[in-house]
Amino acid sequence: MNRIGRVEQVLKGKEVDRPPLSLWYHFGVQHGGGERFARLAVDCFRHYRFDFLKVMNDYFYPMPEGIEAVRTVSDLKRLDRFEVETSPWKEQLRALEVIASELTGEALFLDTVFDPWQTLRRSLAGEHLDRLMEEEPDAVLSALDVIAENLSGYCRRSIAAGSAGIFLSIAADKEWIDREPFVRFVKPFAARVLASVRGKAILNTAHIHGDDLWFDDCIDLPADAFNWWDRGPNGPSLAAVKEKIPGCVMGGIDHRIVTRRTGPFLKEHVREGRRLGGRDRFLLANGCSIDASVNPSAIRAIVEAAREEIS
């Protein structure tokens, strides 16, 4: 069974010889152009012989011209619609075009996107966002509406470039945000982005990001697959989520231990992860990004165990 066929069978709910595998980490080359990044991504994918590629996205949402940070209501109102092809995302789109030209017929790839609230925090408002949500919630909601529209436009453009799905990172950690603001400021806009590409790709994935999660509030998001830190202390387990969704789960590998364990330990960890994921509706992957300082031998050990035949 080839790489594409294996992923497609999993998405159809059918058993496969082994779960498709992917791993990812940040290359740290966002200061450069998209073509260079694409070559690194494809080289990493082929070197380790993964089954599908999860493309990182380290090109940031643009700050409105004339301000250095979003601090006030007037700053929030400066956020407006823009053409994604002329934004900093043009480098990511260029990377996707290169990756598509390299991997068409060989493997599927996903494109990483950060949800609107996370985008507002990490790219624009930073430390000012909590205060703005408390003091000017309507202005924040209006800004998130604009960001969601821009992100949705980008996602559709990404899929047109060849992505098999959007990997949407959704900030859902209880340490970062309480439930009420999560339900008000995060979930609706994440759901809108996912809905904008529903049916336009086969592997739109909701990455529920964090350690202790508002997972039950995320379970109805319109995604083909869910990815999260399932091997962490707060779960939930792969099996528990499979019972609640019609789609697939993606996980089984604890990203936090890959740089701190020996090859034999990681092989057994992967074997256990495969047992936890089951024989259907399961893609084997890390629960979040691995540290970029990872030893290549650690990844090779994971790949070796992932390819073992299990009766």
For residue 264, pLDDT over 80 is answered with yes
* Number of domains, the chain: 1
What are 26-55's pLDDT values in tens digits?
A: 999 999 999 999 999 999 999 999 999 999
pLDDT at residue 311 in the model: 63
Q: Tell whether 127 is covered by a domain.
A: yes
Q: Tell whether 46 is covered by a domain.
A: yes
For residue 310, pLDDT over 80 is answered with no
Strands 248-253 and 282-286 turn out to be parallel
HEC string of 160-203?
HHCCCCEEEEEECECCCCCHHHHHHHHHHHHHHHHHHCCCCCCC
Q: Tell whether 290 is covered by a domain.
A: yes
Domain that holds residue 283: 3-306
pLDDT (average), residues 145-161: 98
Q: What is the pTM of this model?
A: 0.97
C-alpha atoms less than 13 angstroms from C-alpha of 15 in its C-beta half-sphere: 6
What are 265-276's pLDDT values in tens digits?
A: 999 999 999 999
- Average pLDDT of the chain is 97
- Contacting residues for 148 by C-beta, under 8 A, at least 6 apart: 116, 189, 192, 193
What are 177-219's pLDDT values in tens digits?
A: 999 999 999 999 999 999 999 999 999 999 999 999 999 999 9
CATH number for the domain harbouring residue 296? 3.20.20.210
What are 126-136's pLDDT values in tens digits?
A: 999 999 999 99
pLDDT at residue 278 in the model: 96
* Burial class of residue 306, CB neighbours in 10 A (0-12, 13-18, 19+): buried
pLDDT (average), residues 251-255: 98
From residue 47, give the alpha-carbon distance in Å to each of 51, 157, 211, 262.
12, 28, 30, 20
Q: Tell whether 55 is covered by a domain.
A: yes
Report the b/e string of 218-240 with b at 16+ CB within 10 A. beebbbbbbbbbbbbeeebebee
Band (pLDDT 50/70/90 cuts) for residue 225 is very high
Band (pLDDT 50/70/90 cuts) for residue 309 is confident
pLDDT (average), residues 235-252: 97
For residue 282, pLDDT over 80 is answered with yes
pLDDT (average), residues 235-256: 97
Q: Tell whether 311 is covered by a domain.
A: no
For residue 78, pLDDT over 90 is answered with yes
Residues of the chain with pLDDT > 70, as a percent, come to 100
pLDDT at residue 187 in the model: 98
For residue 151, pLDDT over 80 is answered with yes
